[in-house]
Amino acid sequence: MTCPICGGAGFLRRDVPIDHPDFGRAIPCECKRLEMIPSLMEWSGLGHSNQDWTLDRFPGDPEALAVAREALAARRGLWVFWSSAFGTGKTGILVAIVRACWDQQVPALYQSVPAMLDRLRAAYQRGDYQQLMDELRQVQVLALDEFHRWHDKSSRWENNASHGDLRDGSPSWAAEKIFQIIEDRYVHWDQRMTLVATNRNPDRGDNDPIASRFSDTVRSRIVPVHGGDLRPSARMFEGMASTTKEKAA
């Protein structure tokens, strides 16, 4: 059956003034969005993840959890979950929101930033770079995990700088790609949601253009994630689950 909304074209153009950022822009139709979800799930690569916390069953910081629920309800804006400590459940929050979006038929994509940069670099060589960038900019919900990793002085992005080719993975290249994605999603903050998990204090701005987008309190919210390392408690959860099963049996 031909889609009654777009007539089978798969996209729509919004009726907006010529100076609007969406003027002339193709917006995926609802029918296309539903088609997108299986490929976004595959692309997110969470299938084999042992990270199965949901927003109803999350052992970490209750305040951060409350904000995660707000984000899911709002489904727009930038939400930066941060703690300098490892294992506080930032990844778990992102994964739980993304999975909840899929349950609600909302197109959502989870990406670890280093893996995303690898993918973009490979796309240069394959020639589908622009398509990939468009998807990252326009997908309704984008969750970027390990966001601090492209700042890491010890990362291989830094090591690659000696090659002198800015298109091939130097920090400047990575910073430019990340900025293009964040900037576009920041401009369209009222139609898209961007989730970020980072170990780097997002307030530590000092002329960082991304930090200045994050600190815009209208479009963005910085959410400190408190608490200790949840990784032992993840194991405990598994233990509790099997104990319960044993008791039931």
CB of 8 to Zn ion, least distance (A): 7
Assess 34 for contact with Zn ion (CB under 5 A).
no
At position 52, the amino acid (one-letter code) is D
The binder of Zn ion chosen from 29, 71, 94, 144 (CB under 5 A): 29
Assess 107 for contact with Zn ion (CB under 5 A).
no
CA dihedral 121, 124, 128, 131 (to 10 degrees): 60
CA dihedral 72, 75, 77, 82 (to 10 degrees): 20
Assess 27 for contact with Zn ion (CB under 5 A).
no
CB of 130 to Zn ion, least distance (A): 23
Could you say which DSSP state residue 161 is in? G
Q: Helices marked H in the chain — which ranges?
A: 30-44, 62-74, 90-103, 113-126, 129-138, 156-159, 171-187, 209-214, 231-248
Is the Cβ of residue 34 or residue 115 nearer to Zn ion in the bound state? 34
Is the Cβ of residue 5 or residue 166 nearer to Zn ion in the bound state? 5
Is the Cβ of residue 6 or residue 132 nearer to Zn ion in the bound state? 6
Is the Cβ of residue 5 or residue 66 nearer to Zn ion in the bound state? 5
Task: Give the x/- contact pattern for Zn ion in 1-20, rule: CB under 5 A.
Answer: --x-xx--------------
CB of 10 to Zn ion, least distance (A): 6
Rg of the Cα atoms in the chain: 19
- The length of the chain, given as a count of residues: 249
Is the Cβ of residue 31 or residue 36 nearer to Zn ion in the bound state? 31
Assess 66 for contact with Zn ion (CB under 5 A).
no
**DSSP bridge partners of 13:** 26
SS3 content of the chain, % helix, strand, coil (to 5): 50, 15, 35
CB of 31 to Zn ion, least distance (A): 3
CB of 36 to Zn ion, least distance (A): 12
Burial (CB count <10 Å: 0-12, 13-18, 19+), residue 181? buried
The binder of Zn ion chosen from 26, 27, 31, 55 (CB under 5 A): 31
Binding site for Zn ion (CB under 5 A): 3, 5-6, 29, 31
